[in-house]
Amino acid sequence: MHFDIAIVGGGHAGIEAAVISAKRGFKTALISLDKNKIGLMSCNPAIGGLAKGQLVREIDALGGVMGKIIDEAGIHFKMLNTSKGPAVQSPRAQADRSFYAQVAQKHIAAHNNIKVIEDMAVEILVEKNSAVGLVLLNNKKLFADRVVLTAGTFLNGVIHVGTHNLKAGRAGDLPSVGITESLQRYGFKSGRLKTGTPPRIHKDSLDYTKLEIQKPDDVPQPFSYSTDGINRAQVNCFITYTNEETHNILRTGFDRSPMFTGRIKGMGPRYCPSIEDKIDRFADKNRHQLFLEPEGYNSDEIYVNGFSTSLPGEVQEKAIKKVPGLENAEILRLGYAVDYDFFPPDQLVNTLETKKIKNLYFAGQINGTSGYEEAAAQGLMAGLNATLSLQNESPFILKRSEAYIGVLIDDLINKIHAEPYRMFTSRAEFRLLLRQDNADLRLMDYAKKFGVLDEKAEQKLVLRRNHIQKITDSVLPKKIDPTRFNMFGKDLQSSLLKQTVTIEELLRRPELRLQELLDRLEIKNDFIKSSILDVEYSVKYKGYLERQEALIKKFNKMEEKRIPENLDFLSIESLSAEAREKLNKIKPKSLGQASRISGVRHSDLSILMIYIEKYLREKVSRETV
């Protein structure tokens, strides 16, 4: 068995890695514990959300499949934050959980050059410090020129409910054993992290009269640029709240909580706390919001979002019945926590290749992240870079100013993470440029270059750019007579015009929207909606965008200042001790990268800059002699 690329794990990272590798023409092995669970959503059956929606749009623009899968399997689409600015708007969709996995498997099956192998990888085969394949169960060997490890929450996974625990990757799945130990032998550091999931309840046991309805958007917006529209029936979600009674019952289980008693060693995500954590940390809050989310058209299960817990079963059951609308809740599956091994990602370079072993890439939850979208983004980048390295091509590194994916990987490799990493819009310093609506304009040229852009997406991109140009050239400069505007200006809460102005000038008024102006002024237009929005934002946020562009230039200058390979940071005594240690550990490639390492101060950067200049001058003079 010899492959170009072997991918361990058929989760969200593994799927993207496999598809991108296959799309680029490589013979790919996808090894997964259970082939019928490829693409299974371990926890919340939802894709997208704040900043995560941006990641999915970027994955799609780069030739990935997550957007296409959720477009086919989504049952409740919602654009979040529509009342706020464009930088923080994000698409989210609830999925039909089992159908999502089926669609994911269909995408894998569409590629003849992906061979799915149902097995467990127990060891990475290494020769001369390079990965050359895998050892599977029963000592079978599989050889590959590149190996991508995406084992999720499975590495030595243990699941916990109250005082009970069980070795498992997630409920119903074996843990993965052997890989961590085999990598530790090569000097890899590993740690433990934890995540949890809420109970699922029977949909017929809810009292819907006591629940708030959360409707999907009237016009669901697809994630994928290749999807024309979502025509499937959409379902409602529901909202309710915990109360003091629920909290008091939950407190009775704290002495048996695996988290509070220290049985779980791994750190959990602070921003996605369990209900017991919320009660403990926010003791002054007398209620917490719960979203009740159907798991599919034909599923009886309702996911109780916000009630993740690993408290004993009887405590979960009693407590949930105190929540309005859930008095008769029938629990179909208990909530539980899982703790698992991860590899601190400072052991990777920005292609996601490991520093210690060549041709070995890590992606997904094993890099200390949490979430399907973060995992998928890494899988895509690891898979793509593995293919580029097979072709001896330059690696593909996205800058922080180009994509959330760039922010994600840069943060992972340069920062020390004590808890699972989740993407937020606040992590991206250039978020007005990295909007969910413009991932195509930002990234599809790369996909085209790598030969992974769908024909349909490309056609749409060409049309969209064409429309943006047309609107900019022919609509924005149009002069509007005051009498014409004043006929409707008041309706739009806009002050009356006294003199002729252009549409561009009108658009600078915060209350006016371009689409509305085009309609009211009866300017014939069949422009794509997203092109209209793009032009509108470029006018409304012109000053801000220009400031961001100027910052990016400064930022890029720092990136261009390369740090010579093999520079011995430990010998630069004028650096602070912390900077010496961190720089030596991460070995940044540029001054820009060094500046983002936690613990490296401005004063360290100045010292480093002077040192590098001196080092390079001396090198030149040595070479001339």
Which residue, 52 or 435, is less far from ligand FAD as judged by CB? 52
At a CB cut-off of 8 Å and minimum separation 6, what does 430 contact? 400, 401, 548, 551, 552
CA distance 446 to 450: 6
Which residue, 174 or 528, is less far from ligand FAD as judged by CB? 174
For residue 305, give the DSSP letter. E
- The candidate with the shortest Cα–Cα distance to 226, out of 444, 431, 533, is 444
Which residue, 363 or 432, is less far from ligand FAD as judged by CB? 363
End-to-end CA distance of the chain: 53
Which residue, 86 or 269, is less far from ligand FAD as judged by CB? 269
The nearest distance, CB 157 to ligand FAD, in angstroms, is 8
The nearest distance, CB 129 to ligand FAD, in angstroms, is 22
Cβ atoms < 10 Å from Cβ of 440: 23
Which residue, 18 or 444, is less far from ligand FAD as judged by CB? 18
CA distance 312 to 334: 9
The nearest distance, CB 362 to ligand FAD, in angstroms, is 10
Helix segments in 243-371, DSSP class H: 244-251, 275-281, 313-320
Which residue, 240 or 365, is less far from ligand FAD as judged by CB? 365
The nearest distance, CB 240 to ligand FAD, in angstroms, is 19
Paired tokens of 55: 């990641």
Which residue, 86 or 258, is less far from ligand FAD as judged by CB? 258
The nearest distance, CB 144 to ligand FAD, in angstroms, is 14
The nearest distance, CB 166 to ligand FAD, in angstroms, is 12
Could you tell me if 375 and 364 are in contact, meaning their C-beta atoms sit under 8 angstroms apart? Answer: yes
Could you tell me if 290 and 304 are in contact, meaning their C-beta atoms sit under 8 angstroms apart? Answer: yes
Which residue, 269 or 296, is less far from ligand FAD as judged by CB? 269
Could you tell me if 236 and 215 are in contact, meaning their C-beta atoms sit under 8 angstroms apart? Answer: yes
51: left (phi over 0), alpha (psi -120 to 50) or beta: left
The nearest distance, CB 267 to ligand FAD, in angstroms, is 14
At a CB cut-off of 8 Å and minimum separation 6, what does 553 contact? none
The nearest distance, CB 308 to ligand FAD, in angstroms, is 6
Q: Output the CA torsion 519→521→527→529 (10° steps).
A: -40
- Return residues touching ligand FAD (CB under 6 A): 8-14, 31-34, 37, 42-43, 120-121, 150-154, 169-170, 176, 179, 195-197, 272, 308, 338, 364-365, 370-372, 375
At a CB cut-off of 8 Å and minimum separation 6, what does 233 contact? 75, 297
> How many CA atoms, within 13 angstroms, populate the side-chain half-sphere of residue 63?
24
The nearest distance, CB 48 to ligand FAD, in angstroms, is 12
Which residue, 334 or 575, is less far from ligand FAD as judged by CB? 334
- The amino acid present at 185, given as its one-letter code, is R
Between helix 313-320 and helix 244-251 the angle, nearest 10°, is 170
Which residue, 335 or 588, is less far from ligand FAD as judged by CB? 335
Give the CA distances from residue 133 to residues 121, 349, 392, 521, in Å, rounded to whole numbers and listed in that order: 10, 20, 19, 65
Give the DSSP H/E element, type plus range, for residue 140: none
The nearest distance, CB 371 to ligand FAD, in angstroms, is 3
